Amino acid sequence: MIKYQHSTGAEQGSFPPFPVGDELVLTSVSLHGIGPDDIVVLRIEIGWANPGTFDMGELEVLLRRDAPDGEAVEWYLESCFLSAVTRIEYRTTGGLPDQVYYLCVRSTDQLAVMNGPYRLEGRVEAR
Q: Tell me the percentage of the chain whose pLDDT exceeds 70.
A: 100
Considering its fold, how many domains does the chain have in total? 1
**Residue 119, CA distances (Å) to 38, 54, 96, 107, 122 in order:** 22, 27, 23, 18, 10
Stretch 65-76: mean pLDDT = 97
**pTM attached to this predicted model:** 0.96
Is residue 111 helix, strand or coil? coil
User: Where residue 71 sits, what CATH number does that domain have?
Assistant: 2.60.120.40
Does residue 127 carry a pLDDT above 90? no
Q: Give the range of the structural domain holding residue 102, as residue numbers without chain letter.
A: 2-125
